[in-house]
Amino acid sequence: MSAVNTFRAAVVRTPNGPDSIEIIDVPVTEPGPGQVRVAVAAAPVNPTDLGVAGGFFHELGMITQPDRTGLGWDFAGTVAAAGPGVDLAVGTRVAGVVLGFDRDFGTYAEQLVVPAADVAVVPDGLDLVAASTVPLNGLGAAQIVDLLGNPPADGNRLLVTGAAGAIGANVVAFALDRGWQVTGLARATDEPFVRGLGAGFVTEAGTGWDAVVDTTSQQVWGLAPVRDGGLFVGVRPNLVPAPEREITVHALVTQPDTRRLGRLLERAAAGRLPSRVHAVLPLTRARRRPARHGRQRHPRPLRARALTRSGLGGLFVTPQLTLVRAAGVPVARNPRQVVSEGLPGVYPDEISPRSRRSPTYLAIKSALKCGISASGPSFAARTAARNSVAGMAEPGVAGAGRAKACSSGNTEALR
């Protein structure tokens, strides 16, 4: 098949960490009715992608693809072909998001066929690299502030954790627009950036906040920073603490919203949406281990090519691949992979003492002791270990003897 009839995409066949990411040739397909084929210029790296490569979401049963799984969630590019009934002209610059795990390829690809209704036009004056950072981060932040609502009459003091990150910075901007008195929590080196957004700044959470938005998902404080009767919004439903002290608790589940995405892109074009793009890499380096590139320990700024755990870890562009860095997140370094905060690829020597006390870290660390690894040598072996831990192993299956000892502490971490 000639090169003109194929395009390249990054996929995972057998999850085994970052080195299991493959660049394959995929046949070009023409768009059907109501669809467009987009020549992808940029696609942000989400930390979820590292979890896919490591097999974490396979273990949870969220990926059942028999052959391969695509990577990447949001994108920006140019319409290369339009199907019947589509008003978008070839050459129109667009951005959008593709949700779900079970797909042959995602936005880490040179071509992408999507419904025309799912893309928004990128305004003139906004380059496609910057535009690609908007869909998930911008929509997620806007929907977080929807959950916050307008400040209540009895208090408008809002703390945003990870305020220098890709989602956190947008939350700060949107919450200020809604009338909240915003304070950002981040590392000390990010203070100028956070204050430049118009927010106050702290390096410790403290207590007594009317509302807290936790964009870091570390959950090391639980609801302790929130006053009685206050409000808490988290970004990972499986880690949001149970309500207490009459605190209202919400969890973000980002929803596609093309009209709103269009407005956010216009805001970005006007320079009113924070964006921190860092470096450019070729698509072929999508599989490089984070351990080879993340050489800085927090609280210093992160280098190119090291993946983060905030909303935006990197950015692929075609034919170049840009890693976008949001400051404020520990990086992977130790070549022995374990799991922290529910995501593979964060290593023991980079996990702060505070993060080591988080419920998710402790649960998955316990699971690892029972033979489960989200980035180990064999997906089949990990599946057998998971069944053993859940008490489902048949007699004679390796690891079955551990089932009774491990099942009570581990099945919650694997659901």
CATH topology of domain 3-133+275-323: Quinone Oxidoreductase; Chain A, domain 1 (3.90.180)
Mean pLDDT of 249-278: 90
Fold type of domain 138-251? Rossmann fold (3.40.50)
Largest CA distance in the chain: 67
Give Cα 71 distance to the centre of its chain: 12
Confidence (pLDDT) at 193: 94
Q: Please give the pLDDT value at position 16.
A: 64
Query: Does residue 319 carry a pLDDT above 70?
Result: no
**How do the domains of the chain map onto residue ranges?**
3-133+275-323, 138-251, 338-414
Q: Where are the beta strands (DSSP E) in 46-180?
A: 69-70, 74-82, 93-97, 111-115, 119-121, 157-161
Cα–Cα distance for residue pair 136/139, rounded to 1 Å: 5
pLDDT of res. 106: 81
Is residue 325 within 8 A of residue 276, CB to CB? The reply is yes
Number of neighbouring beta carbons within 10 Å of residue 322:
23
Kindly tell me if the per-residue pLDDT of 146 is higher than 90.
yes
Higher-confidence position of 132 and 316: 132
Q: Is the pLDDT of residue 348 over 60?
A: no
Q: What is the pLDDT of residues 14-48, one digit of tens each?
A: 776 667 788 888 899 999 999 999 999 988 877 77
What pLDDT does residue 4 have?
67
Determine the pLDDT at residue 131: 94
pLDDT at site 60: 66
**Least confident interval from 19-28, 128-137, 226-235:** 19-28
Segment 151-160 mean pLDDT: 94
Q: Which helix (H) or strand (E) holds 344?
A: strand 343-346
pLDDT range class, residue 254, cuts 50, 70, 90: confident
Listed residue (175, 177, 162, 197) closest to 274, CA to CA: 197
**pLDDT average, residue stretch 326-347:** 30
- Residue 285's pLDDT band (boundaries 50, 70, 90)? low
Lowest mean pLDDT of 51-65, 155-169, 189-203, 324-338, name the range. Answer: 324-338
**Buried/exposed code over 26-35 (b: 16+ C-beta within 10 A; e: otherwise):** bebeebeeeb
Contacts of 122 (CB under 8 A, 6+ apart): 76, 93, 94, 95, 128, 131, 265, 269
pLDDT digits (tens, 9 = 90+) for 296-314: 332 222 222 222 223 333 3
Contact 111, 8 (CB under 8 A): no
Where does the pLDDT of residue 281 fall: very low under 50, low under 70, confident under 90, or very high at 90 and above? low
Residue 408, CA distances (Å) to 232, 360, 370, 414 in order: 29, 15, 11, 11
Mean pLDDT of 245-251: 93
> What is the predicted pLDDT for the residue at 270?
94
Residues in the chain: 415
> How does residue 189 score in pLDDT terms, banded at 50, 70 and 90?
very high
Whole-number mean pLDDT of the chain?
70
**How far apart (Å, rounded) are the C-alpha atoms in residues 295 and 3?**
37
Among residues 309, 273, 145, the alpha carbon closest in space to that of 197 is found at: 273
Q: Token pair of 148, please?
A: 């916050």
pLDDT, residue 159, reads: 97
Per the model's pLDDT, the better-predicted residue between 362 and 269 turns out to be: 269
Helical spans, DSSP H, in 39-100 = 47-54, 56-59
* pTM of the predicted model as reported, rounded to 2 decimal places: 0.69
SS3 call for 100: coil
